[in-house]
Amino acid sequence: MTGGAMDPLPAAAVTAAAEVEADEEANLPAAGLPTPPASERRDPDPRRMQVPPGNPLLLSHTLQELLARDSVQVELIPEKKGLFLKHVEYEVSSQRFRASVYRRYNDFVVFHALLLQKFPYRMVPALPPKRMLGADREFIEARRRALKRFINLVARHPPFSEDEVLRLFLCFSGPDVQSKLKESAQCVGDEFLNCKLATRAKDFLPADIQTQFAVSRELIRSVYNSFYKLRDRAERMAARAIDNAADLLIFGRELSALGSDTTPLPSWAALNSSTWGSLKQALKGLSVEFAVLADKAAQQGKQEEDAVVEKLNLFLDLLQSYKDLCERHEKGVLHKHQRALHKYSLMKRQMSAAVHSHEPESVEQLESRIVEQENAIQTMELRNHFSLFCLHQETQLVHAYLPLTSHILGAFVSSQIQGHKEMSKVWNDLKPKLHCLFSGPASALTPPRSPRDGLSPH
């Protein structure tokens, strides 16, 4: 690091500089959130932010362990009329905390902003967009699914899952949860200030961390692009199954309408009245099987939406949060560190010019500013190393989620097998009922030939 050429500062000075600089680096994502004064920091919860044994950089979480941390359901509550507009509420139920609370979208917004404030160097999943005027049921359902994915990713994330703000969001049932959430974040500071190893993060980083970061970022970008295409095709297949269900249902209804027609046959019709009556009765009865087929196709489409498309969306949300984190790292602390180094260089040149000009007052002021800038640079370097430390851990978390691919493929194959098996049974049950369509005088009705038995036109 460029700042490594400077003399190391005393630990007390580094800590003081870290606290003074914390407010700027926290990057509050929304207005109205509490900014803890440096002199009023509360001691972090002793159960949190402890240095784990062994190399703290390395994580050992498996996918099963992450999924077992919690399972959170988000269900729509019927709309209520406010003073001017209707608003949507959600029932949020946590299996881990055995709690069920009511939340509105704006509650999620405040919770999301606090996560970014407290954990600026972690993967914080994005929220779905705010409701627009005229939002339909499809939009509301899509947002419910997205909120469910968001809260489950957060509840299963190791640092988030142990934080008080998550427990409040999932458990607090009193009035004004937003104020309660903001109050819990006051005078606490972000993860850098609360983690005991933050100032020693550089000691745990591999020498080629920058190279590893670049390689991981490119790999995850490629994985994201592939999964995006998989999700797109899975959505289309699920939609086709649902469209097929609608077509089968309409097909059956038309057969029923044809069988229910009471228009009498004209005297010159080739079919006699009794034959046409039998044929209509048979057509009318077939609508039942087509309704069953439509139901099976709809079930398959719904199963693929829930077990395949939603899991692909969950993984895409995770990958997108990693991409957002990489961007925050580059545009946040890294950019500020480089800007501080540039400012430090300018101040050094000003000092040199002041010395040559024999301006003692200017020299004294510049010396004081340079010391402050050196402290700020030192703190930014510590934050930069901690940011890379967290990035390394978040990369490991993404890799821990990669086996979700097998879950997705398994669900897709099982859905296809089950769907085709059930529909095949209905088709096979329907086939014998077609024989009644060809009963009657041999001269009147004959069953259709198989394509293989087709006669040559010659």
pLDDT tens digits, 408-423: 999 999 999 999 999 9
How far is 259 from 282, CA to CA, in rounded Å?
A: 7
Q: What is the pLDDT of residues 264-296, one digit of tens each?
A: 777 776 666 677 777 888 888 888 899 999 999
CA separation for the pair 153, 125 (Å, rounded): 7
User: Of 315, 312, 319, which is closest to residue 394 (Cα–Cα)?
Assistant: 319
Which residue ranges of the chain lie beneath pLDDT 50?
Answer: 1-52, 441-445, 455-458
β-pair partners for 90: 76, 103
Residue 377: per-residue pLDDT:
76
Give the full edge-to-edge strand order of the sheet including 99-104.
Answer: 72-81, 86-94, 99-104
Confidence at residue 332, expressed as pLDDT on a 0 to 100 scale? 74
- What local confidence, expressed as pLDDT, does residue 2 receive? 38
**pTM of the predicted structure, to 2 decimals:** 0.77
Q: Which domains does the chain have, with CATH numbers?
A: 63-194 (3.30.1520.10), 237-261+275-437 (1.20.1270.60)
Token pair 């999924």: residue: 67
Residue 406 in tokens:
């097998």
Measured between alpha carbons, how far is 154 from 71 in angstroms, rounded to an integer? Answer: 11
CA dihedral angle for residue 400, residue 409, residue 246, residue 253, rounded to 10 degrees: -140
Q: What is the structure's pLDDT at 286?
A: 86
Under DSSP, the state recorded for 308 is I
| Identity of the residue numbered 445 | L
Identify the pLDDT of residue 449. Answer: 55
